[in-house]
């Protein structure tokens, strides 16, 4: 016959297993949901962005990013060459999606017409600020608009 202590231990074990399973399954389900929403958006007037052929369903380009750390600049340049001027989307776990642009027309479009859609974010702005100071390439939003207006006059 099961005692109350044994039933409580089994219940605690079941709850722990369910919680751990949830910690594994929920991020994967979220990633799939985001990926499916991204694919459906491409059917409503926007074009689909190219992804490297090595992109994995759940990991994205995480393994590529880790494996190409020593040669990351050459790797990114090769991705841009393979895309023949089209934007390339890199997705890595734990980081925001990264869009690679390689043509002057794409840069001009982003800087003039779509700047608010491509913020640097605080982390990248901080890295750029260390290298470039408070210049137009290292700031976002208000500061960027003010510097752009000053530079264009």
For residue 40, pLDDT beyond 50: no
Residue ranges per structural domain of the chain: 1-40
- pLDDT score, position 103: 93
CA 133 to CA 109: how far, in whole Å? 24
Residue 88, strand partner residues: 50, 100
Instruction: Quote the tokens at residue 67.
Output: 């494996």
DSSP string, 50-73: B--TT-BTTTBTHHHHHHTGGGHH
Higher pLDDT, 85 or 139: 85
What percent of the chain shows pLDDT beyond 90? 30
SS3 label, residue 132: helix
CA 10 to CA 77: how far, in whole Å? 55
pLDDT tens sequence across 41-50: 445 557 788 9
- State the chain's mean pLDDT as an integer: 80
């Amino acid at each position: 016959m099961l005692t109350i202590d044994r039933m409580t231990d089994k219940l605690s074990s079941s709850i722990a297993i369910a919680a751990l399973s949830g910690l594994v399954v929920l991020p994967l389900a979220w990633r799939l949901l985001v990926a499916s929403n991204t694919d459906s958006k491409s059917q409503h007037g926007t074009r689909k962005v190219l992804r490297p052929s090595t992109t994995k369903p759940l990991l994205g380009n995480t393994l590529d990013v880790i494996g190409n750390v020593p040669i990351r600049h050459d790797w990114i340049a090769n991705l841009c060459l393979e895309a023949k001027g089209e934007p390339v989307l890199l997705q890595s776990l734990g980081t925001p999606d990264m869009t690679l642009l390689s043509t002057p027309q794409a840069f001009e479009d982003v800087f003039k017409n779509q700047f608010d859609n491509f913020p640097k974010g605080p982390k990248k702005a901080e890295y750029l600020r260390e290298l470039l100071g408070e210049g137009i390439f290292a700031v976002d939003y208000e500061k960027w608009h003010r510097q752009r207006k000053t530079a264009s006059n």
